[in-house]
Structure 1
């Protein structure tokens, strides 16, 4: 692991530890830096703010599944990322309670919509999608994110595999086809 990633991982570990004893909204960059015994400049070299750190953590979790998976099944990979999030649910439950402009919920929604849009464009070999397709991508994404939060809060008693299947079944057909044809040539996030 490169030094830059080790430093980022150190800040992530600090946030994991701090979130156990303090509500997320009360954790400041100063607290993370004090925990790591680093100057704030070092933190700001790597991240814009604590929300940027959370986005990096999410991307690490996402990439660890989707970029290293040998499975071509989107549903299987989705179940794997959900399982990873469930194992870290005490962390994700805390950060999902934040509803500020920079919240992880908004970040994941934007990421998910961007990914869905890119996949549909790639699958259809086009540079644009219709307003209806964008609406359905957003509708599915927003609903899926909210249901994921409820699932992490144990409001739905099902395994990650069952939950991934429910998400996949609820997906609009054109989006489902785009995910099924997903390949490494699509860039997003």
Structure 2
């Protein structure tokens, strides 16, 4: 093989790695900037200019990563929902009481985490929280029920179970129930699997 072609190939691969790393760092700095700003002011009052100044990037760079600030919060919330579920279930997907309890605890963690990070904006982003966590719960439940129910049964049960699990965690996160998260998880799992 031509030695120059080998060198050009290596340089090209290194350049791609640096570009990916830069892309990841910039995206993370924008997300971090949003989280900082969300603890200081309401979501509606956060502007793209605020985000770019805090992240020390220009507007074009922001728009290379996100369509708008709603797209940014969407990414933050989606990543958070998925990571909470993965962390709680350790990616073991088996439809049983323990699995359901871990899903409720993940929703509680999700609300607690985002409530802590986005103090001022928590209530205004609550509808997005629900949407993203329901999507993540439905994926997990669909996997766990694959060998138990037919597809038409899953189409019925998955959204119902996801709604129950989400609502339990939401009630806990908004301090509307007197149970601690463990008690809540146990009681909620028994609603779905009473035996």
TM-score, normalised to structure 2's length? 0.64
Specify the alignment match of 1:82 in structure 2: 108
Q: TM-score, normalised by structure 1?
A: 0.65
Aligned counterpart, 1:43: 62
Kindly name which structure, 1 or 2, has the bigger radius of gyration based on alpha carbons.
2
| Distance verdict in 2 for CA 1:36–1:3, change over 3 Å | same
Partner residue of 1:162? 183
In the alignment, does 2:63 pair up with 1:63? Answer: no
CA separation in 1, counterparts of 2:107 and 2:167? 16
Match of 2:10 in 1: none
- The number of equivalent residue pairs is 167
Secondary structure, in 3 states, of the residue corresponding to 1:97?
helix
Q: 2:21 and 2:187 mapped to 1: Cα distance? A: 38
Give the corresponding residue for 2:32.
13
Unaligned runs of 5+ residues in structure 2 are 1-19, 93-97
Greater helix proportion: 2
CA distance in 1, matches of 2:73, 2:192: 26
In 2, Cα distance between the equivalents of 1:26 and 1:85?
21
Aligned pair partner of 1:24 in 40, 43, 65: 43
Over 3 Å counting, the alpha-carbon distance change for 1:109 and 1:51 in structure 2 is: farther
Structure 1 residues 133 and 70: CA distance shift in structure 2, 3 A: closer
Partner of 1:114, secondary structure, is helix
Bigger mean CA offset, 164-173 vs 152-161: 164-173
| Corresponding residue of 2:3 | none
Conservation of the 8 A alpha-carbon contact between 1:96 and 1:104? no
